[in-house]
Amino acid sequence: MKYLSVRKHLILLIVFSLTLSVSEAQSFKNSSSRNPERGLFGKSLNNKRTVKVKEPRAVTKAKRKQEVNEKRLKREYAKFIKNSQQRALDIQTPEVRARMIQNRKDSDLRNREKRKNGSATTKKAAKKYRKY
C-alpha cells in the first residue's frame, strides 16, 4: 500500500512538472505589452531606418561650387537676353520701336489672362500656365 501511494504521488508530481514546463513554453517574455504580436513575429517590415551616408568633403564642396556656377550662368544668360532685346529695340526706327513695345505689352496681357483663366478652371491648367 505504501508503494502505491508513493507511485501516485510520484506520477502526480511528474505530470504537474510537465504541465508547468508546457505552460512556460507558451508565455512570450520579450513581447511588449502594447503589441503582443511583436513577440511572435518580431519587428515589422515598415519600420526600416534610412541610413544616412555622409559624402566626402570634396564631393560636397564640388556640388556647392557647381550650384554657384549654375546660378552665375543663369544670371549672365538673363542679362544677355535683356541686353539683346534692348539692342534689337534700339536699332529700330521710332515708329517700329513703338509698335514693338505695344506688341510686347499686348502679348504680356494675353499671357496673363490665359494664366488667370487656366488657373480658374483646373489645377492642371494652373500648373501649365504658372509663372516661374
Torsion sign over Cα 111, 116, 122, 124: positive
Residue 79 belongs to domain spanning: 61-128
Instruction: Quote the number of domains for the chain.
Output: 1
Instruction: Give the residue carrying C-alpha cell 504680356.
Output: 108
Whether residue 25 lies inside any domain: the answer is no
Q: Read off the pLDDT of each residue in 83-104 and give the average, rounded to a whole number.
A: 93
Cβ burial, residue 8 (10 Å; 0-12/13-18/19+): exposed
pTM: 0.42
Q: What is the pLDDT of residue 106?
A: 96
Closest Cα partner for 32 from 22, 44, 49, 50?
44
| pLDDT tens string 21-63 | 555 555 555 545 566 666 666 666 666 677 788 899 999 999 9
Residue 67 located in a structural domain: yes
Residue 108 lies in a domain: yes
Q: Is residue 12 part of a domain?
A: no
Mean pLDDT value across the chain: 79
Based on C-alpha coordinates, what's the Rg of the chain? 41
